[in-house]
Amino acid sequence: MRRIGLAVLVLGLTAVPWLHADTLNVSGDAQTSSAQPNFKFGLLPLMTVRSAPSGAILNSYTQFDFSPLPEAPTVDKAVLRLWVGLVVTPGTIEVVPVLEPWQEGTISGASSPALGSPITSFAVSSGDFLHYIDVDVTTLVQDWASGYMANNGLALRGVSPGSVNVVFQGEHPDEPRAGAGGGAGGRRRRTRTNRPARASGRDGPAGSCWPDGTAGIVGSNRPLWPGGSDGATGIAGSDRPLRPGGSDGAERTVGPFGADRTCRSGRRLGPHRADRAQRADGTARDGNGARGPAVF
């Protein structure tokens, strides 16, 4: 299935005029990256458009084979049809004519051709994923057909300032190029009216298959990040001196001894009490209070 094409509606100036639409085949497509300025992406079947305030800028380029058109055609309308393979960041893309010749196998970010002024722009939304987008490029194709501008193809780039990251499906690597015999990629689709049918001709020889592309460049292993050197030894802290001890207190003097106290004089014994009279119970007490013998 063709994923990118240019449908051109041509008004044929002949004795019996007719309208017919030609789908022009891609003769080359590529993309470039500012992050990899020397890498050639021409063999990839993708066309990426990316622009952002930071990071890599990716532009895409495509050109078409005009040989199916009649000599000195009058182009009434031309539509660029793109298949959206991935929408990373929705945004707006502008279509710009390429002013210098370029080759699919040699174009790179460092050798990009000069570009003209944008002729139109179109928006890509998340809903366009896995759908076709049609872009009117009639003015540009009319300039190519009339010889006013050389047919070096067109470029797709993000509108600045702004952000966009979209991947379009380019020419399929297994699809024959323009002019090659064989499959659908090498045939042009044409719709005509009021034209007599042609007699069936003999089958042409089978077209040769497009050769396999060269293998991509194998990326080199990135070296391990070296370890950092040891830092300088820090300054050793000095020993802090011990705090000095306090001074000894003054000695306390012993107080004077107290004077000797004299012992008290002994108490004198009192006189014996007089004998008491005999008690009524017949007992008597002596002078010392002792109970005496009973007297009958």
Q: For the segment 79-91, what is each residue's pLDDT rounded down to a tens digit?
A: 999 999 999 999 9
Range name among 48-52, 84-88, 273-277 with the lowest pLDDT average? 273-277
Between CA 26 and CA 83 the distance in angstroms is 14
Between CA 6 and CA 25 the distance in angstroms is 7
| Spatial CB neighbours of 295, under 8 Å, sequence gap ≥ 6 | 278, 282, 284
pLDDT range class, residue 68, cuts 50, 70, 90? confident
> In whole angstroms, what separates CA 174 from the centre of its chain?
33
Reply yes or no on whether the pLDDT at 66 is more than 70.
Answer: yes
| Residue 264 or 162, more confident | 162
Decide if 112 contacts 41 (C-beta within 8 A): no
Decide if 144 contacts 151 (C-beta within 8 A): yes
Residues 279-290, mean pLDDT to the nearest whole number: 53
Reply yes or no on whether the pLDDT at 151 is more than 90.
Answer: yes
Between CA 3 and CA 163 the distance in angstroms is 24
| Spatial CB neighbours of 288, under 8 Å, sequence gap ≥ 6 | 272, 273
| Spatial CB neighbours of 21, under 8 Å, sequence gap ≥ 6 | 7, 8, 9, 10, 189, 190, 191
Decide if 80 contacts 93 (C-beta within 8 A): no
Between CA 25 and CA 177 the distance in angstroms is 7
> In whole angstroms, what separates CA 241 from the centre of its chain?
58
pLDDT for the residue 94: 98
Residues 214-231, mean pLDDT to the nearest whole number: 56
pLDDT for the residue 19: 44
CA distances for 121 relative to 14, 30, 134, 155, 160, angstroms: 35, 19, 11, 11, 12
pLDDT range class, residue 140, cuts 50, 70, 90? very high
| Residue 16 or 79, more confident | 79
Between CA 156 and CA 115 the distance in angstroms is 10
pLDDT for the residue 150: 95
Question: pLDDT tens, 174-188?
Answer: 444 433 333 333 333
Average pLDDT, the chain: 74
What length is written for the chain? 296
DSSP-assigned beta bridge partners for residue 191:
21
pLDDT for the residue 18: 36
**pLDDT > 70 in the chain, percent:** 52
The encoded tokens of residue 29 equal 């497509």
pLDDT for the residue 278: 53
Between CA 5 and CA 264 the distance in angstroms is 146
Question: pLDDT tens, 193-219?
Answer: 333 444 444 555 555 444 555 555 555
pLDDT for the residue 12: 36
Decide if 39 contacts 106 (C-beta within 8 A): no
pLDDT for the residue 237: 61
